[in-house]
Amino acid sequence: MLDLQYMILLSKTGKVRCIRWYGDYTSKEKQLLLKDIISLVLTRNSRESNIIEYDMTGYATKNTSKNGHRIMYKRYASLYFVAGIEDSNSSNELLILEAIHRFVESLDKYFGNVCELDIIYNFEKCYYIMLETFSCDGNLLESNKRKVLQDIQIMDQIESGEGLSGLLG
């Protein structure tokens, strides 16, 4: 079980290219967390661990119990794929890093060696693939790349208008 709190795609310059919040955060918490994530991830060198212990004690509002937090990330070319979980969670960090890798492989398969420009100009496809890979509560929904791509191809056919008659007929 992954129990992601968020999934963020960042450029190496710190621009958010795609973001999905699974946890219950206020707008202020999201802004502060995003600012810290960007600075933490971008300043790490390649020899440091891809898992960061993060303390949200100063940011947690009285309505939340978020204190301990872990950030996992992987860099692929000019993009950082970042996922976060709460410390109280029993999620496996290596499983989360593998789920990130599966997500990137699905993007690669769809775009043919995905790059930052693919995400910028086709962000809706990135979100489709993310929604096919991860459930609405932050768990891994589908690990089979072929199944994810089949579903995305069906969506592409429906978008183009030719798929509806093919699907119904």
Look at residue 123 and tell me whether its pLDDT is greater than 60: yes
The predicted model gives 10-24 an average pLDDT of: 95
HSE toward the beta carbon, residue 31, CA cutoff 13 A:
3
How high is the pLDDT of residue 64?
Answer: 46
Query: Do the beta carbons of residue 87 and residue 68 sit within 8 Å?
Result: yes
- The pLDDT tens digits for 70-112 are 999 999 999 999 999 887 666 788 999 999 999 999 999 999 9
* Residue 33 included in any domain: yes
Give the CATH number, domain containing residue 145: 3.30.450.60
Phi, psi of 129 (to 5 degrees): -65, -40
Q: Out of 12-16, 132-136, 156-160, which region has the weakest mean confidence (pLDDT)? A: 156-160
Domains in the chain: how many in total? 1
- Torsion, Cα of 2, 150, 152, 84 (10° steps): 10
Predicted local distance difference test score (pLDDT) of residue 156: 87
26-74 pLDDT tens trace:
999 999 999 999 999 999 998 999 999 988 765 554 444 556 789 999 9
Distance CA 3, CA 140 (A): 8
Residue 26 belongs to what domain range? 6-168
In a domain, 13, yes or no: yes
User: Does residue 1 lie within any of the structural domains?
Assistant: no
Under DSSP, the state recorded for 140 is: B
In the chain, the amino acid numbered 162 is: E
For residue 59, what pLDDT is reported?
56
Q: For residue 138, what is the DSSP state?
A: S
Report whether pLDDT(146) > 60: yes
CA distance 107 to 101: 10
